[in-house]
Structure 1
Amino acid sequence: MEYVIREMRNEEYCLLDNFLYEAIYIPDGIEAPPKSIIGCPELQEYIIDFGKRKHDKALVAEIQENVVGAIWVRIMNDYGHIDNDTPSLAMSIYKEYRGLGIGTSLLKQLLSVERLAGYSKISLSVQKSNYAVKMYKKAGFTVVDENSEEYIMAINL
């Protein structure tokens, strides 16, 4: 399947609501929370006023002019926060487009963009049972902290 990775346009930042919801890991057998959950302050931190902070950056994957995935970073006090100089990463791909390498491509491209922008590290939080842990480790992320449910991972750029 052919896709294009490009910078998210300002008028597309509203799409981050959907991608934030898609980024919530739902283990098999667990009912998905209502979409209203993204209104919680700890989740709003990922998207509120996106594009207005100096360190905000987002890329999308597009197939036939439809955005099917997004990856974004900002310096924020989120689950993956490690320090005030390290952007935290969030990403998601619509379910029907997962497993096609789109997430890996988005991740590689974002790491390259952030490296060129002068950042030395990127961090994230991921639930231990999430299949995406393998992708992050393969990309070079290492576990820097953990709790009973999730890993805090970082990569040096």
Structure 2
Amino acid sequence: MRIGITEQQHVLRLDDQYDCSHLIVINEVPIGTLKYQTHAQYIEIMQLQIHPLHQNKGYGKAVIEQVITSAQSKPIKLTVLKNNPALELYKRLGFTITDENNYEYHMQTRATRS
């Protein structure tokens, strides 16, 4: 069981809005996936997963920076489990905590002027 959710809930979360998923490929090797959706007023990152063999190499940072660059001044929202090491990465990239529950933080970047 994952923190706060069952395995079945985790699988349902992975399958939800799969059409918004993008495979992350480096040198023709799939290393992860990014699931995000563009809304009228903001962009929502629903999932970013990098395979453990490829973590801590800057790929997650590069993906988030690309989303920030393409956001065209819209704020970006995401949630992250409280014990996820990616929390510090998101903070370094300009995300701030806007809310929280027992298991996760809700984070957002500020809108920028274009």
Matched-pair identity in %: 24
**Which SS does the other structure have where 1:140 is aligned?**
coil
Whether contact under 8 Å (2:95, 2:107) holds in the other structure is: yes
- Matched residue count: 107
Which structure 2 residue ranges, 5 or more long, are not aligned?
none
- 1:68 to 2:39 alignment: no
- The root-mean-square deviation of aligned C-alpha atoms, in Å, is 2.7
Higher strand residue share: 2
- TM-score normalized by the length of structure 2: 0.77
CA distance in 1, matches of 2:92, 2:23: 20
C-alpha displacement of 1:111 = 1.0
Provide the residue aligned with 2:16 in structure 1.
Answer: 45
Higher relative contact order by CA 8 Å / sep ≥ 6: 1 or 2?
1
Aligned residue type for 1:113: S
Q: Aligned residue for 1:152?
A: 106
- Report the secondary structure of 2:57's partner residue: coil
CA contact (8 A) 1:141 1:154 kept: yes
1:23-102 to structure 2, matched below 5 A, reads 33=7, 37-38=10-11, 40=12, 42-47=13-18, 50=19, 56=20, 58=22, 60=24, 62-75=25-38, 85-89=41-45, 90-102=47-59
SS at match of 2:83: coil
Q: Is the 8 A contact 1:59 1:106 kept in 2?
A: no
1:43 CA displacement: 4.5
Separation in 1 of the partners of 2:23 and 2:51?
Answer: 14
Structure-1 separation of matches of 2:21 and 2:67: 9
Deviations 1:71-119 (A, max 9, x none): 231158xxxxxxx73221021101100011110011101110122xxx5
Scaled by the length of structure 1, the TM-score of the pair is: 0.58
